[in-house]
Amino acid sequence: MHHLPLRSIPALPGQIDGTPVDRWDQWRTVPILSHLDPSCANCADPGPSCIAMGYAKQTVRGRQVQLRRWDAHRCPACDEMRIYENRPGRMGRSERVEVLYAPPRTHAPKFTKREPE
């Protein structure tokens, strides 16, 4: 099913910390996990929120190597956005660091029905 969005989705950054982002995947819905509250801390929208993955790649000796990877989280109601970077951490585990934050633009528009005059 495809339907036109009612409003534009805020653009994701073309670069982060001076590193160009080669690709952002399409926004998709975050799966609901029973142990995590999917609601938005800002506007209390029940969720689920949206996620998009971003990648920076570099060609090293003819091979594409992934340099950096981000995941952007957005509330579909208020557009508050946080972008996290997955960085290699200690003991081979990756660390998740918040690198960018975009404040909510507006609360979800509330439409009221208008009667003809």
* Site of interaction with Zn ion (CB under 5 A): 40, 42-43, 45, 75, 77-78
d(CA 16, CA 68): 10
64 or 106, CB closer to Zn ion? 106
Task: Please say whether the beta carbons of 74 and 84 come within 8 A.
Answer: no
Task: Please say whether the beta carbons of 75 and 43 come within 8 A.
Answer: yes
Provide the minimum distance between the beta carbon of 106 and Zn ion in the complex, in angstroms, as a whole number: 10
As given in the structure block, the two tokens for residue 23 are: 């690709």
Provide the minimum distance between the beta carbon of 77 and Zn ion in the complex, in angstroms, as a whole number: 5
Q: Quick one: how many helices (H) and strands (E) in the chain?
A: 0, 8
